[in-house]
Chain A
């Protein structure tokens, strides 16, 4: 690793601060990037890794701080400016056009031309072939240059995206969780490609949550926690546990101070061999009065599990028993009539009908549950109002549009909607996303109350602290599998992290 002593860093970030509405996303962050190194950025959800990358890529302007490229201070107006300065990002979601071919996509916007108007087809094919020979082959790129993107598998698309980035000849390449959608073999192929780039002296920033990968390819690591740089070191000089300790901080081994709920062994829901495109063969049991937590990094199949229990995943294979008898749930309508409720934190997509009134948003699921076709306004309102009051929803009139409420209040209306169906099982999909702390506390107090009345809850939260404080048991997800079940004294932040970061 002596090469770090002999050359100048290609990119340095000094004292970078960034404040988003109500959140200090970056606080005095420092980063040094050297040519010919793979620099891993790690940190828990919301630690600021993505914000830092967006600052470097010109997508976000920092409030304060200095960004130097090859010793010169830079201020990027937009991603295009950063790109032409030599900084490129490989995003998880690709920027490819499905109806164009591999060659057309790789050089899109930078085609060799004749007279500036007509595309020089031969030159394009030659350039793309050379690029693929140099980098693609080692990364197991099988796609032909004339194949259409729509016909390619995800991993091949990812490689085309990387080729597209490399074609712009960047000096710094940021891989933002580029391995999240790849399997083990594909990851190792991608790493061969990254090694080839490193050998050419490119500087690479890699965001990854998989420890095995980090130690497999990284040269150095910078750990962020709550927007601050907490460690920056050579990977050869550190250990897995040390990194996790940096990520979770001092409180890692403290157990959460949650009071135990009275135990009850009655199984209200038993799902066996549940399989979807993103969940692989999961079986679980939910007990009466229990809050079952789903943990792990974001997007490991937790939401897919909840949606498939609710009948909203088309290609799901599963058998669900409710209170001991087989339940035929093929659609959300079936699920509602079996007494299930699904509440998502993604209100705009899966919950609120923005322009409709609070009343209409409230009554809608009850109608489905009771197979009602007409609304008796007065009686419906009489039964719904007390629920709004228990949840302390702040509103002027039930006829105002739901989108005129704050996020927390909207979420409370949606919770009220489902409580009105008197559900036996609540499926909560990151329900506190974007709502303020008092509203969160109200929601969890309510959950606790519902559970003592015999309802059961499956809770997925992207905030580990919330899971640890409220769940009775936690199933930790990784790549669509349950890799660990935590209960009682095992439920510490350290254990949760350790399980979440293990490779499935």
Chain B
């Protein structure tokens, strides 16, 4: 650029971690991927990759949405509950509208609107009313879960075959889940080049400074929650493509997985620092840990324990490396 030289402070590792926050997540991902391939050579076959992608796509999308919220200095603990709500509303509305292709499109539209509305509500609570994110979204998650149970008290309902046939099919020789992943990645890349993204990082990194600089920090916080709500809706629609029926209780298990995916990806929970790329890798890493456990032939009662220990090691490793400055 110019003759101005960068000040070399901190170690090489810490400088790289700053510039490429996903550096470590990438390393962990590659390591776990290699182990998976060693244990299960068929892991890299096209069919296996496709089925793993289908299984973990919802988590990847959710984690991506969560990342925007975390970068802005908040955290969405209701993201799983939004998944449940959209899930049952999607099934019920498509059923109600008659199951035609138009009905499916209308149902998808409604689902996205519900996700957006839920995110907006969260954004109002945090951005405008200035409630504590954890408490506010503990409350809204109960509301969303309650609504989901009200709409569909028990798992059930069926979607027309065309819905999940489309999801498991291909468009332009590309499997639909892969297409959705590509669209998500393109969208996040565009967002990261926008002014909004820089303002989001500024708001999460130093809200006071962002405010003094004249940035609309309330609007930015609300927008980040809307993105998370939309991501939850898209993820929920993907889940429907796999299961074909509604379940009011399936969402909440995702919530903390998205947070650990975000952290594994190198994003700071305190806000302002991190990357979407890291989160995609972090969510994929969570998937790899799952499949590693699955192929390890461990007795089922040991699986959660081993899974927890691996996750803890991955998180601690990240913290250890980034603190060693």
Contact assessment for A144 and B10 in the assembled complex, using a CB-CB cutoff below 8 Å = no
In chain A, positions 118-163 with a C-beta closer than 8 Å to chain B are 118-119, 121, 125, 129, 132-133, 136-137, 141-148, 150-153, 156
Q: Would A104 and B18 count as touching, CB distance under 8 A?
A: no
Question: With A95-B212, A109-B215 in contact, is A143–B6 under 8 Å at CB?
Answer: yes
- Chain B residues near A136 (CB, 8 Å)? 4
Q: Is the CB of A95 within 8 A of B193?
A: no
A73: Cβ under 8 A from any B Cβ: no
User: For A104, what are the chain B residues with a Cβ–Cβ distance below 8 Å?
Assistant: 198, 201-202
Q: How far is the CA of A95 from the CA of B193 in the complex (A)?
A: 23
Within 8 A of B (CB), among A92-131: 94-100, 104, 108-109, 111, 113, 117-119, 121, 125, 129
Chain A CB within 10 Å, residue with most, of B7, B194, B202? B7
Interface residues of B in 98-141 (CB under 8 A from A): none
Point out the residue from B15, B195, B205, B214 that lies within 8 Å of A99, measured CB to CB.
B205
Q: How far is the CB of B182 from chain A (nearest CB, A)?
A: 20
A109 and B273 contact, CB distance less than 8 A: no
Q: Nearest-CB distance from A105 to chain B (Å)? A: 8
Please name all residues of chain B whose beta carbon is closer than 8 Å to the beta carbon of A152 when the two chains form the complex. Answer: 7, 9
Contact of A144 among B5, B196, B215, B273 (CB under 8 A): B5
Does A156 contact B202, Cβ atoms closer than 8 Å?
no
Chain B positions within 8 Å of A119 at CB level: 193-195, 198
Partner of A151, one of B9, B209, B272: B9
In the complex, the chain A residue whose C-beta lies closest to that of B190 is A118
CA distance in complex: A19, B5 (Å): 49
CB distance from A402 to the nearest CB of B (A): 25
Q: Main SS of chain A's interface residues?
A: loop
* A99-B6 in contact given A80-B214, A125-B1, A145-B1 (Cβ < 8 Å): no
Are B4 and A99 in touch, CB under 8 angstroms? no
Q: Determine if B6 and A144 form an interchain contact, defined as CB atoms under 8 angstroms apart.
A: yes
- Asked whether B213 lies within 8 Å of A118 as measured between CB atoms, the reply is no
In the complex the two chains form, is A111's CB within 8 Å of B195's CB?
yes
Q: Tell me which of B5, B198, B215 has the highest count of chain A C-beta atoms within 10 A of its own C-beta.
A: B198
The smallest beta-carbon distance between A491 and chain B, in angstroms, is: 42
Most buried by B among A95, A99, A148: A99
Per the bound structure, the CA–CA distance linking A137 and B1 in Å amounts to 15
The one of A95, A118, A156 in contact with B7, judged by C-beta atoms closer than 8 angstroms, is A156
Q: Which of A129, A133, A148 contacts B18 (CB 8 A)?
A: A148
Asked if A153 and B9 make an inter-chain contact with CB atoms under 8 angstroms apart, the answer reads yes
Min CB gap A144→B, angstroms: 3
CB distance from A150 to the nearest CB of B (A): 8
Known A-B contacts A109-B214, A118-B194; A146 and B205 likewise in contact (beta carbons under 8 Å): no
- B34 within 8 Å of A (CB atoms): no
CB of B105, distance to nearest CB on chain A (Å):
27
Knowing A95-B212, A145-B4, A151-B15 are in contact, say whether A118-B193 is a contact too (CB < 8 A).
yes
Within 8 A of B (CB), among A146-193: 146-148, 150-153, 156
Residue in A79, A125, A132, A148 with the greatest tally of chain B CB atoms within 10 Å: A148
List, in ascending order, chain A residues with CB within 8 A of B194's CB. Answer: 117-119
Instruction: With A98-B205, A108-B215 as known contacts, state yes or no: A142 contacts B7, CB within 8 Å.
Output: yes
Task: State in angstroms the CA–CA spacing of A147 and B10 once bound together.
Answer: 12
- Which chain B positions have C-beta within 8 A of A150? 18
B208 within 8 A of A: yes
Given contacts A125-B1, A147-B7, contact A117 B195 (CB under 8 A): yes
B206 within 8 A of A: yes
The docked-state distance in angstroms from the alpha carbon of A118 to that of B192 is: 9
For residue B215, which residue of chain A has the nearest CB? A109
Known: A95-B208, A99-B268, A104-B202. 7 other contacts (CB 8 A): A95-B209, A95-B212, A99-B201, A117-B195, A137-B4, A146-B6, A151-B18
Residues of A whose CB lies within 8 Å of any CB of B are 79-80, 83, 94-100, 104, 108-109, 111, 113, 117-119, 121, 125, 129, 132-133, 136-137, 141-148, 150-153, 156
Q: List 10 A-B contacts (CB under 8 A).
A: A97-B206, A111-B198, A117-B194, A119-B195, A119-B198, A129-B1, A142-B7, A146-B6, A147-B7, A151-B15
